[in-house]
Amino acid sequence: MSTTWRDTGKTWKPRRKEEEKMTFYGYRRPDGRVGVRNKVLILPASVCASDTTRIIAQQVMGSVTFNNQLGCSQVASDQQLTMDVMAGYAANPNVYGTVVVSLGCENCQMDLVVKAIQERTNKPLKQVIIQEVGGTLKAVDMAVRYAKEMAAEASLLQKEEFPISELIVGTECGGSDPTSGLAANVLIGELSDRLVVAGGTSILSETTEFIGAEHILARRAATPEVHDRIFEIVHRYEKALQLVGEEVREGNPSPGNKAGGITTLEEKSLGCIHKGGHTPVMAVYDYAKQVEPKSGMVIMDTPGNDPSSVAAMVAGGAQVVVFSTGRGTPTGNPITPVIKITGNRLTFAKMEDNIDVDASPIIYGGDLKTMGDELLKLVAEVASGRQTKAEALGFTEMAIARVCNFV
User: Fold for domain 39-155?
Assistant: Rossmann fold (3.40.50)
User: Given the DSSP bridges, would you call strands 3-4 and 11-12 parallel, antiparallel or unpaired?
Assistant: antiparallel
- What is the chain's alpha carbon radius of gyration, rounded to the nearest angstrom? 21
pLDDT in tens, 11-58: 455 555 666 689 999 999 999 999 999 999 999 999 999 999 999 999
pLDDT given for residue 184 in this prediction: 94
DSSP string, 244-285: TT--GGGTSS-HHHHHHT---HHHHHHHHGGGGTTSPEEEEE
Task: State pLDDT tens for residues 193-249.
Answer: 999 999 999 999 999 889 889 999 999 999 999 999 999 999 998 888 888 787 777
Question: How far is it, in rounded angstroms, from Cα 240 to Cα 236?
Answer: 6
Distance, in Å, from the CA atom of 49 to the CA atom of 61, rounded to the nearest integer, reads: 20
- pTM across the whole model: 0.94
Helix ranges, 167-263 (H): 178-179, 185-197, 214-218, 224-243, 255-260
Low-confidence ranges of the chain (pLDDT < 70): 1-20
Distance CA 139, CA 127 (A): 10
pLDDT of residue 130: 98
5 CB contacts (<8 Å, ≥6 apart)? 11, 12, 219, 220, 221, 222, 280
Say which residues have a Cβ less than 8 Å from residue 64's Cβ, sequence separation at least 6.
Answer: 39, 40, 41, 42, 57, 334, 335, 396
Q: What is the pLDDT of residue 7?
A: 44
